[in-house]
Each structure stands twice: as C-alpha cells, then as structure tokens.
Amino acid sequence: MSFRRDFVANLPPNPDDALIELADRASAWLETPESPEDNLNFAYIVQILERFISRYRPEITQLITSPSPAVKDYIEAIVRFGGAREVDKLLDSYERMVDDAESFGVASLNSGEKEELHRHLENVRKLIQASPLSDRKKNALFHRLEALRAEVDSIGTRTDRFFAFAGDISFVLGDMAEKAKPFVDEVKDILKIIRGSRARTENVQLPHEETLTLPSPEGPSQEENH
C-alpha cells in the first residue's frame, strides 16, 4: 500500500476521532527516517489535515498561530483540541456514572482490568485487519472497537456494549476464515473480564460457567443447513 493510501486508511467514522488518529499518524511519520519522498509526503499530510479541519472542525484553525503551518503545527492544534474534548468526555462519563449509580449493567474496572481489556481489544483489531473481511465490514467493526475502547476508559463502564459486540460477531465469523477461532477466543476473554468486574461492582456471586455462548467459528453444520 502506498504512503498516501496508508495514511488515510481505516479512519474512524467520527470526525473528531479521525482527526486524533490523523495527528497520531502524522506524529509517527515525523519520527521516521528521512526518505526521498519526504517533501511530497509533507505536502500531502498538510493538505489532508488542512482540508479535514476546514470541513469538519474549522474552530481548530484558531489554535494555529503560524502563518505557514507545518505538520507539527497542525498536530499541536489537534492535540489541544482533543485534550479539551477528552475532558468533556470524562465529565460526561462521570455524570453518566452518577445517573447509573443505582442501575445494573455498570462495571468499575480496576487499572489491571483496563490494561488487559485494551490488550485484548488490540488483538481483536489486529485479527480483523488481517482477516479477509471486506473493507466495509472491517470499518464497521473498527468503529465498534473504538466505542469499546472509550467505554473501558470511562468512569463506570457500561457492560451492555460488550455483550452487544459479542452478538454482532456472529454475522462475520463465516467470512473470517482461519482468524475466526482466535477472534472468538479473544472476545470470550474480554467478556470474562467484563462479567467478573460487573459481578464485583454489583456485589453478587456469579456461577462458574461459560461467560457467554458464542457462535462456533466453524459455523452451522451441513445438517443444520437442511
């Protein structure tokens, strides 16, 4: 894949999330060794960031003070914008936790559980990326994964999104070929952590049984098809 195609591949569907991802990719590019294509790539990145900001978040331009912005100027402005957005998300998360304090379906994850969940979610992302799924299906799953990542970092994690994701995967397992089984195994590990944390939060003792019955990676048998 060419640099230009790779730079904008699989962006999150939310413009704010996409901007943060573009800033991360631009930062990574700045740290790469010099190459003959640097001038062309520099111009391309600047154009992408400028056009993306002007179309979706023109208020970010107010954070850019340089008359001739370079890549690092755009990155700094996006990071500043993203920082304020993260604070707003934190406050929203806290308010939601207060509203849900007396309700079921919220888990209070500890730091170890959060770290482990992020590791499993990253493994899931890699399996999806390496699978033969269509780009449309990959992007849909990536969007769901980003929502789960945000949920993990929330103050009070709603567990329903994780179980909904487990239900959604039944529609793609048949297309994942040899990636299906490790994909299911990762999702089971995620649900085990979520289930245990929720049980602890709600102070209940859950039976020692399978976290959730997930569809078989091999799909339905021939007899079931008749």
pLDDT tens for 29-45 read 888 877 777 888 889 99
Same domain, 108 and 196: yes
Same domain, 203 and 186: yes
Are 111 and 143 in the same domain? yes
Regarding whether 78 and 58 lie in a shared domain, the answer is yes
Q: How many structural domains does the chain have?
A: 2
When pLDDT is averaged across residues 17-34 and rounded to a whole number, the result is 86
38-42, 102-106, 178-182, 200-204: least confident range: 102-106
> Range of 63's domain?
3-96
Residues 129 and 161 placed together within one structural domain of the fold: yes
Six-digit token string for 1: 């894949």
Which pLDDT does position 179 carry in this prediction? 84
Residues 67 and 111 in one domain: no
Average the pLDDT over 51-73 and give the result: 87
Helix/strand/coil (H, E, C) string of the chain?
CCHHHHHCCCCCCCHHHHHHHHHHHHHHHHCCCCCCCHHHHHHHHHHHHHHHHHHHCHHHHHHCCCCCCCHHHHHHHHHHHHHHHHHHHHHHHHHHHHHCCCCCCEECCCHHHHHHHHHHHHHHHHHHHHCCCCHHHHHHHHHHHHHHHHHHCCCCEECHHHHHHHHHHHHCHHHCHHHHHHHHHHHHHHHHHHHHHHHHHCCCCCCCCCCCCCCCCCCCCCHHHC
Banded model confidence at residue 206, pLDDT cuts 50, 70, 90? low
Given a cut of 70, whether residue 95 has pLDDT beyond it is: no
pLDDT value of residue 102: 47
| pLDDT score of 93 more than 70 | no
Whether residue 173 sits in one domain with residue 61: no
Summary mean pLDDT of the chain: 80
pLDDT of residue 97: 58
**Residue 127 pLDDT grade (very low, low, confident, very high; cuts 50, 70, 90):** very high
What's the predicted TM-score (pTM) here?
A: 0.51
